[in-house]
Amino acid sequence: MGDMNTKSTASKALKERFLLALKCNDYEEVQSILQSKKVDVDTVFEVQDDDMVLASYKQGYWLPGYKLDSSFATGLHICAMYGYLESALVLLEHNASINSKPNGKTPLHVACEVSNSDSVALLLNHGAKVNSFSLSGHTPLHYCTTKEATACAKQLIWKGANLDVHSKNNDEDTPLHTAARFGLPELLALYVSSGANVDSINSHMETPLITATFWALNQKEQVYSTEHHLVCRMLLDYNANVNMQEEDNKTALHRAAWNCDHILMQMLLEAGADTNMMDINGCAPIQYTLKVTSVRPASLPDICYQLLLNHGAARIYPPQFHKVLQSCHSFPRAIEVMINSYDHIKATSKWRTAIPKVVFQQHQDFYESLFAACSNTPRTLVHISRCAVRAALRNRCHDNVDKLLLPPSLKKYLLLEPEGRIF
């Protein structure tokens, strides 16, 4: 019994020594331990893994919290996580299992997760499976989620990675969806130039363009991402279908309108986005902008409405105009754009109650001009003329007004540029 305890203690101490050597990249110590043949090269350790670099779990699994701060890993996983090539090479020379998944990921998944292209090269050159799936259903390409991972992705593609593979989970994303989700123009260019389908769809019928459009707004910080804007620009240049609809019939323009992202809205509209396509709830993009105007502090709603109306968006049904005031009462410029798209619209009793008293007082000159213009009297002749020209141009206002032989100020007037008062 005493001999067994002694052997167990010695074995435990040797395992701890092996783990310490791996963590310190002491490859000579790793070599010495393995040559003693007293430790299995594929020994599984439990190591700290706060960021879940080593772990991968199936969707829908309930996980107790204490399981998430550590993971099971072999020495090769540890070397991949830290980028220790010398120790990894020693392990491979001792025939370490290169595709093992003690906690759901292979060493190659881990190397891609940490964007270490040298580790990726080493593993691929020793036979790592380039299209293997983690427990969560992702291939190594799906774990390329940073600009620095572009070098990793190149090597995966050279070794035959499937660019149009769908993740084996509820989302069924392709690597192109992942690049769009994280706003990575470098990876997007690599994938498309290597043959990826620019209009691939996931399980929600979302294209990479729809995905990138939605994630262009950081919902928590309410900040727009120029990287996502660039990704969308590139997808459109690669001839992505601008009017494809996801499972709820929303297009990329619906998503951009929901974000009040006037930069993307202009981009999509110029590429031919249909302003009047309706989703499963019967809502066009202009209704989505209306729903969120009051909760998008970084947006310029007047420009959003201008773009939609100048590209032929149907106006809000006049008896429902009080809803515009409810949503946009703090944005007089937006209200002015919307009001001036009608040749005449009459104020109702609901209008006044839709505007908080403090807001009315803050923008009193504007609101007094609004109620004066929307009374029983007709609008000015110049406004009626504007509406006649816009009606003739229909959904071609944005493109064709600029071709008219008119002064710049009059062109702005035709395109509903706000002036601060309604005449």
pLDDT per residue as tens digits for the range 284-340 = 999 999 999 999 999 999 999 999 999 999 999 999 999 999 999 999 999 999 999
What is the rounded CA–CA span in Å between residue 153 and residue 164? 13
Domain assignment present for 96: yes
Per DSSP, the three-state class of 100 is: coil
Assessment of whether the complete model's pTM goes beyond 0.95: no
**Radius of gyration from C-alpha coordinates of the chain:** 30
Q: What is the DSSP letter of 313?
A: P
* Spacing of C-alpha 361 from chain mean position: 40
Number of folded domains that form the chain: 2
pLDDT tens, position by position, 246-255: 999 999 999 9
CB 42 within 8 A of CB 74: yes
Among 230, 158, 152, 145, which Cα is nearest to 195's? 158
Of 162, 195, 225, the position where a domain reaches its end is 162
Domain assignment present for 277: no
> What is the phi-psi region of residue 364: left when phi exceeds 0, alpha when psi lies from -120 to 50, beta otherwise?
alpha
Q: What is the pLDDT of residue 4?
A: 53
Of 121, 139, 162, the position where a domain reaches its end is 162
* CATH at residue 38: 1.25.40.20
Domain assignment present for 228: no
Domain assignment present for 418: yes
What is the rounded CA–CA span in Å between residue 387 and residue 249? 32
Q: What's the domain range around 131?
A: 10-162
Domain assignment present for 256: no
Please report the sign of the dihedral spanned by the C-alpha atoms of residue 357, residue 358, residue 363, residue 365: positive
Torsion of CA 341, 346, 348, 350, to 10 degrees: 10
- Residue 233 is encoded by which pair of tokens? 């620009």
- Residue 303 is encoded by which pair of tokens? 């420009």
Of 162, 190, 213, the position where a domain reaches its end is 162
Per DSSP, the three-state class of 73 is: strand
pLDDT tens, position by position, 266-295: 999 999 999 999 999 999 999 999 999 999
